[in-house]
Structures are given as C-alpha cells and as structure tokens.
C-alpha cells in the first residue's frame, strides 16, 4: 500500500514538473518575441497550451515566471563541465575551456534568456545580479582558481588572476558573442570558434607565460 502511494506521488510529481516546463517553454517564447513589457499572462497561457487558471496555479505573475526562466538558465549553465585538471598542459586547458565557454554562451536558443535579462535588469536589478553572480562571475571564479594554481606551480606569472580570467574570456568572445547576442549573426561555427580561441590563447600566453631563462 505504501509503495503504491509513493508511486502515485512520483507520477503526480513528474506530471507537475512536465507542466511547469511546458509553461516555462511557452513563456520563454513569448518573452523572446514580445519582450517583457509586451508579454501578458494570457499570451503566455496560449503559447504554453494551458488555461490562465492553470498558469496562475504555478506562477502568480510574469515577474515570477521570468525569474523562474532565469533560474533555469542558471542551472543549465551551471552544468557546464570545464576541465581544469592540473595534470593537463596549459595550452590544452585554455583551448578546451575557451571553446566550451563560447559554445555555451552562443548555443542556439541560449541567447534569448541573456537578451531578456539584459533588457529587464534595470527594472529588476536583483534578477540581473543573480544571473551575473550565478552564471558569469561563477565561471570567472572557477577559471581564476585554476590560473592561481598555475601561478603557484610556476607556469604563469599573473598578479591578478580574476582580471586575467576575465581578459581571456572576453578575448574568446571577440567577434563572436556581440553579433550573436544582438542577432546580427547566427551561432558561430566550430571553425570560427577555433580561430578566435586560438588567437585568445596565443595572446594570453604571450602576456602571462613565464619565459624560460
């Protein structure tokens, strides 16, 4: 009897999660097409294929919906597995990290959440701050920790690893991220990413690698 009850609860939970994802997918499409101000709960309900009553069971207003979308993006980007194994050489790590970072940043469909956060950050600064701290700053910190370990190992000479981490990540974005985020160009191809990341790596190592004596 207990097992049957637990199974029933599991099914209900799965259905609840699926319905919530369905609503978030619909809301994301509406926010992307109409912007935050142009979106209405009615439009979101239609896009999600649910009644307004069902929509309000899950979310009280579009602010709550938008925050849930941001949290989903935070979770998605937080899954990124960057390999900072110190057993690997610096060149391989920089190249792999730069490539994975830009692929994540410019993945098809991934720009919509970032664009919407940028558009609404002035009105909802706590949402923008949470997105920055849990996505962008978190990645910078992880990479800076790796660079600091390389400095300790005597491979790199860096005074400010946080600054150096940001520099490398920005160099990897060069000519790729801005056209993508403003929809002036599609997601970059693997060849385009490889060319920019190689250039960023060479510049970074020219500035920070310890020269043999």
pLDDT tier at 17 (50, 70, 90 boundaries)? confident
Question: Rounded mean pLDDT of the chain?
Answer: 87
Give pLDDT, residue 78: 66
Q: Residue 175: count other Cβ atoms within 10 Å of its Cβ.
A: 13
C-alpha of 83 from chain center = 17
SS3 181: helix
How confident is the model over 30-45, as pLDDT tens digits? 887 887 888 999 999 9
- Give me the domains of the chain, ranges plus CATH numbers: 2-60 (1.10.10.60), 74-208 (1.10.357.10)
Rounded Cα–Cα distance for residues 137 and 166 (Å): 9
How confident is the model over 103-131, as pLDDT tens digits? 988 987 677 778 778 878 888 888 888 88
Residue 193 has pLDDT above 70, yes or no: yes
pLDDT tier at 101 (50, 70, 90 boundaries)? very high
Comparing 10 with 125, the larger pLDDT belongs to 125
Confidence (pTM): 0.78
Which has the closest alpha carbon to 46: 64, 31, 26? 26
pLDDT tier at 10 (50, 70, 90 boundaries)? very low
C-alpha of 12 from chain center = 30
What is the C-alpha R_g of the chain?
21
SS3 209: strand
| Per-residue DSSP letter, 80 | -
Rounded Cα–Cα distance for residues 194 and 98 (Å): 9
- Residue owning tokens 């978030």: 24
Residue 139 and residue 101 in contact, taking contact as beta carbons nearer than 8 Å: yes
């Amino acid at each position: 009897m207990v097992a049957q009850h637990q199974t029933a609860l599991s099914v209900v939970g799965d259905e609840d999660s699926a319905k919530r994802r369905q609503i978030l997918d619909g809301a994301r499409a509406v926010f992307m097409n109409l912007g935050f101000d142009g979106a209405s709960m009615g439009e979101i309900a239609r896009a999600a294929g649910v009644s307004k009553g069902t929509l309000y069971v899950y979310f009280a207003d579009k602010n709550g919906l938008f925050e849930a979308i941001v949290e989903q993006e935070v979770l998605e980007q937080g899954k990124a597995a960057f390999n900072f194994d110190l057993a690997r050489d610096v060149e391989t790590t920089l190249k792999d990290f730069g490539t994975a970072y830009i692929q994540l940043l410019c993945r098809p469909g991934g720009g919509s959440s970032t664009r919407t956060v940028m558009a609404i950050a002035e009105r909802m600064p706590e949402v923008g701050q949470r997105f920055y701290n849990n996505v962008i700053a978190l990645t910078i910190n992880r990479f800076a920790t790796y660079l600091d370990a390389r400095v300790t190992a005597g491979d790199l000479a860096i005074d400010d690893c946080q600054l150096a981490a940001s520099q490398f990540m920005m160099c990897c974005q060069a000519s790729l991220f801005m056209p993508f985020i403003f929809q002036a160009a599609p997601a970059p191809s693997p060849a385009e990413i490889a060319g920019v990341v190689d250039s960023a790596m060479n510049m970074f190592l020219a500035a920070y690698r310890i020269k043999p004596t």
